[in-house]
Amino acid sequence: MQKTSVPHLLHPSRVRWSLPLLLLLLLPVAAALPPAFRAECTRIVDGDTIDVSRAGETVRIRLEGIDCPERNQPFAEEAMALTALLVEGKMVDVIAKEKDAYGRTAARVFVDGRDLSAELLKAGLATHYRKYNSDWLLASLERQARAEGAGMWGTPPSPAPAPATKGSPRKDSRTVPSSPAAYHGNVRSRVFHSPACPHYDCPNCTRRFGSREEALAAGFRPCGRCKP
C-alpha cells in the first residue's frame, strides 16, 4: 500500500522552520491593526477634540474623519455642546488611527455604540474631512445633513449688529431685552417645538427658529404634542 504523503510544510522535519516563518509573516498584519482602548472622557476641548483618561494618563483625541467649526465661528458652540452631551464624563471606546501634526491621537470614538464623528455630521455640526478621510459613510452623512438643512446647513445665523458710529442714535439696551429663539427644531426628526414642550431642549434640537413660519419654510413640521 502506498503511504499518504505529508504536506511539505507539515512534514515533521519542517515544522520547526515553518512555525517561525508563519509568525514572521503575521507580524506586519498584527502591527497594522488599529489599537483600541476604553477610557473616560474628562474634558471637551472643542467640537472635534476631547481629552480622555487612560490608565491615569491624559490622552488628547482629535475626532478622525470630521472637522467642526473653530472657536468664534458660527455653530462652534453647538458642536461643542453636542459633543459634551454625548461623551463628557462617560466611558468611551477609542479606535486610534495615528498621531497628527500636533501630537494628538486621531481616532474614532464610540459611546453606547454610537460613532461620535457620525453623530456630529448628522446634526450638521461638522464637515467630512475629505482631505484625510475617504469613508463613504461619513461623506454620505454630510450630504444628508446638507439636503435636510441640518445645523450649519440651514438658515445662517443673524449677523452681529454693526457698531454705533459717531452721530448715530444709540439704542438703550435696557429697553430692548434679548429674546431666545421661539422654536427649537429637531434636525433628525424635522419636528419643531415650542418653549413649553418637554422636547424643546432635546439632544438633536439644535436648529433655532424665530417664528413658526420660518420653521415651516425650512421644511420642519409642528410637534404633535405641544402643537406650536
Which residue among 138, 153, 168 closes a domain? 153
Indicate if 212 belongs to the active site.
Answer: no
Residue 121 lies in a domain: yes
Residue 2 lies in a domain: no
pLDDT of res. 179: 42
Closest CA to 121 of 71, 214, 47, 221: 47
Residue 7 lies in a domain: no
What is the grid cell recorded at 130? 475629505
Residue 64 sits in a domain whose CATH number is 2.40.50.90
Chunked into runs of 10 residues, the chain (228 residues) has average pLDDT values of 47 46 44 74 96 94 93 89 95 93 93 95 92 86 92 66 53 41 79 81 82 82 80
Residue 171 lies in a domain: no
79: Cα within 13 Å, side-chain hemisphere: 30
Same domain for 139 and 81, yes or no, is yes
Residue 138 lies in a domain: yes
Same domain for 138 and 188, yes or no, is no
Same domain for 143 and 196, yes or no, is no
- Name 29's Cβ contacts closer than 8 Å, sequence gap at least 6: none
Dist. CA 183–CA 223, nearest whole Å: 11
Same domain for 148 and 94, yes or no, is yes
Tell how far CA 166 is from the center of its chain.
45
What is the grid cell recorded at 183? 422654536
The total number of structural domains in the chain stands at 2
% helix, strand, coil for the chain, step of 5: 30, 25, 45
Same domain for 49 and 137, yes or no, is yes
pLDDT of res. 162: 56
Of the residues 64, 78, 104, 142, only one is catalytic, namely: 104
Dist. CA 137–CA 127, nearest whole Å: 12
Of the residues 62, 108, 207, 208, only one is catalytic, namely: 62
**105-111 and 57-63 as β-strands: parallel, antiparallel, unpaired?**
parallel
Same domain for 201 and 135, yes or no, is no
Domain membership of residue 121 as a residue range: 36-153
pLDDT of res. 16: 47
Q: Kindly report the pTM of this predicted structure.
A: 0.56
Indicate if 190 belongs to the active site.
Answer: no
Of the residues 43, 54, 57, 70, only one is catalytic, namely: 70
Dist. CA 117–CA 47, nearest whole Å: 10
Residue 70 lies in a domain: yes
pLDDT of res. 219: 79
pLDDT of res. 212: 85
Indicate if 62 belongs to the active site.
Answer: yes
What does the pLDDT look like over 188-225, one tens digit per residue?
778 888 887 877 888 878 888 888 888 887 878 888 77
Dist. CA 98–CA 73, nearest whole Å: 27
Closest CA to 207 of 162, 152, 160: 152
